[in-house]
Amino acid sequence: MTLALTGATRLFVIVGDPIAQVKAPGGLTREFAARGHDGIVVPVHVAPADLAAFLIVADRLRNLDGIIATVPHKFACFQHCTSATARSSFLRAANLLRRRADGGWHGDMLDGIGFVDAVRAQGFTLHGKRALLAGAGGAGSAIALALIEAGVTELAIHDDDAARRDGLIGRLAGLGKGCVVVGSADPSGFDFIANATPAGMKAGDASPFDIDRLSPRMFVGCVITSPVVPPLIERARAIGCATSTGSDMYQAIQAPMLAFLLHADRERSRHEAVREP
């Protein structure tokens, strides 16, 4: 890939804390070039305490067309949106923001779509299965919604933040699709296990599950992209489980991310409910 950066190049940023693990800058920048779009994605390391100040500056950068939010900024970035898709509004989280014509931001939340598509790419059918999910944060809430929409019969959600967990369970239960309950670290009896927490990014992290209770018939998925094979996935593969990784999720989410950021989804999004202040 040869980049010809000029003063006319459009800027997109991915903001997170930490940020070194993200895959989007190179991949999306290459895809922009392949589509003839003069744009570049730049990683920006912003602590939670500084996010509000960063977003105020972002509002004033006239060549900034999009913001990709990663951990832990997805809830806060949604609050900064002027409008959002129905999916993002339900979750109260956004991992993508694109500039509106009036200078504000329109948000969407695609983590769940990417995660479920990565699982399906491995040949696993979620419909009719029992699922256990660790994590009710930004990515976790999106994955929970996507699993319910994929037709799991039961979704158990495990999170140390009981208020966050129970709030998500209450909203999902209101959809009337499947059974949504409080989960635990014990994966026994489940068909599908998903880690949507950062556990496993750092050496020595405790697993969100009792991995000694995994069985070969289970499918195990994880959102972590670094290391490429997180400890949970390594252990699951060792006992014969089918798996999907954070890198698989990123590959699955890249196309819808591009469509959103480049407004290629405009006809579709016109028919979606939006959040307006």
Q: From the DSSP assignment, how many helices (H) and strands (E) are in the chain?
A: 10, 12
Which pLDDT tens digit goes with each residue over 233-273? 999 999 999 999 999 999 999 999 999 999 876 544 443 44
Tokens matching residue 138: 């930004």
Smallest CA-to-CA distance from 68 within 134, 139, 3 is with: 139
Of 223, 185, 226, 222, nearest to 202 by C-alpha is 226
Q: pLDDT of 136-168, one tens digit each?
A: 999 999 999 999 999 999 999 999 999 999 999
Q: What sign has the CA pseudo-torsion 79, 81, 85, 88?
A: negative
As given in the structure block, the two tokens for residue 249 are: 């999720």
Question: Virtual CA dihedral for 168, 171, 172, 175, nearest 10 degrees?
Answer: -170
- pLDDT score recorded for residue 203: 87
Is residue 159 classed as helix, strand or coil in its secondary structure? coil
- Tell me the average pLDDT across 126-133: 98
Q: Is 23 a catalytic residue?
A: no
- 133 vs 175: CA distance, rounded Å: 18
With CA atoms as reference, report the closest residue to 223 among 76, 95, 126.
95
Q: Whole-model pTM?
A: 0.89
21: confidence class by pLDDT, cuts 50, 70, 90:
confident
Query: Is pLDDT above 70 for 76?
Result: yes
pLDDT digits (tens, 9 = 90+) for 96-115: 999 999 999 999 999 999 99
For residue 22, which phi and psi values (nearest 5 degrees)? -75, 150
**Can you give the length of the chain in residues?**
277
**Burial code of 160-183, b = ≥16 C-beta within 10 A, e = fewer?**
eeeebbeebbebbeeeebbebeeb
Report yes or no: 72 and 46 within 8 Å, Cβ to Cβ: no
What does the pLDDT look like over 29-48, one tens digit per residue?
A: 999 999 999 999 999 999 99
| List 74, 129, 177, 202, catalytic entry | 74
- Buried (b) or exposed (e) across 111-146, using 16+ Cβ within 10 A? bbbbbbbbbeeeebebeebebbbbbbbbbbbbbbbb
Per DSSP, which regions of 145-253 are E strands? 154-158, 179-182, 192-195, 219-222, 242-244
Looking at residue 41, its pLDDT comes to 97
